[in-house]
Amino acid sequence: MRALKKYFKLEALSIIALFALWEAASRLGVAPAYLFPPFSETLRSLVGLAMTGQLGLHYSITLVRVLIGLGMGSSIGILVGLAIAYSELAYRALYPIVALLYVVPAVAWIPLFIIWIGLNEAMPIAVIFLCSFVPMVYTTLTGIRSLSPSIVRVAQTLGARGPRALFSVLLPQALPSILAGLKVEAGMAWRTCFVVEMVAASSGLGLLAMIAQSTLRVDVILAIILILAASNYAFQAVIEKAEVRLLRKWGYVR
């Protein structure tokens, strides 16, 4: 416990040191302040932005997009992964397609989706959905396929068959790898959402950053990046907490 506290202190210290370095470098005039504002200035802009209500509005739009896209994409992805993993035929037929889609970055679909879906609220969500869906199918599939075949055999002799075997044995057994995958995909969802908003949305943090860029507001851009980093970090921390709690309960980690 003491070691853990020490570790956290060190973690916090390194982040504080980074901000301090940033502040000092800027104050010492490494670059003109309008190109490289100090940390304190960036924080002030952040508060200012929040006061106008702009930040809250655009942040909540981005958050909702991430939540819907990630939530739907990953949950449907897990279900599809389970279904494919369950049937040998489905696995053989569909795995190559999943593996192929897995290597295509989600942002590559943006131009296509602009044409197919149009510039509306469904478009960014569709991109984030795909960004979470394909990797979660892949992760679930590989997670289940890596289980010992005797797990399935024993479950069968005990009477677990069909969807029951899927949900009572295979899904929970693959949960550690699914959660590890979800942690990565939560980060990807934020990144992808930001990119979509920069390129093709009329709202959201990405748009805010593009507007700031057109008015040369480096402080605002940095403030938005800080928000993005913090949100992404928070998402991953929540999933990691659930993961660690589960793994500890099951005895994977002491």
Residues binding another protein (CB under 8 A): 148, 150-151, 153-154, 156-161, 164, 168-169, 172-173, 175, 249-252
Comparing CB distances to another protein, the nearer of 144 and 205 is 144
Show the tokens assigned to 239.
Answer: 């999933």
Residue 168 CB, shortest distance to another protein, in Å, is 8
Distance CA 254, CA 248 (A): 6
Neighbouring C-beta atoms of residue 162, cutoff 10 Å: 8
Residue 28 CB, shortest distance to another protein, in Å, is 54
Residue 162 CB, shortest distance to another protein, in Å, is 11
Does the CA dihedral 103-109-112-113 come out positive or negative? Answer: positive
Greatest Cα pair distance, the chain, in angstroms, is: 73
Comparing CB distances to another protein, the nearer of 71 and 176 is 176
Comparing CB distances to another protein, the nearer of 116 and 252 is 252
Residue 238 CB, shortest distance to another protein, in Å, is 21
Show the tokens assigned to 215.
Answer: 């008015």
Comparing CB distances to another protein, the nearer of 164 and 245 is 164
Comparing CB distances to another protein, the nearer of 181 and 204 is 181
Distance CA 173, CA 151 (A): 9
Comparing CB distances to another protein, the nearer of 34 and 252 is 252
What is the residue type of 202?
S
Comparing CB distances to another protein, the nearer of 160 and 226 is 160
Show the tokens assigned to 173.
Answer: 């057994």
Catalogue the long-range contacts made by 195-198 (C-beta closer than 8 Å, 24 or more residues apart). 195/107, 195/110, 196/107, 196/110, 196/123, 196/124, 196/127, 196/128, 197/62, 197/124
Residue 161 CB, shortest distance to another protein, in Å, is 6
Half-sphere exposure of residue 10, counting CA atoms within 13 Å on the CB side?
6
Residue 75 CB, shortest distance to another protein, in Å, is 19
Residue 240 CB, shortest distance to another protein, in Å, is 19
Residue 108 is given by DSSP the state: G
What is the residue type of 166?
L
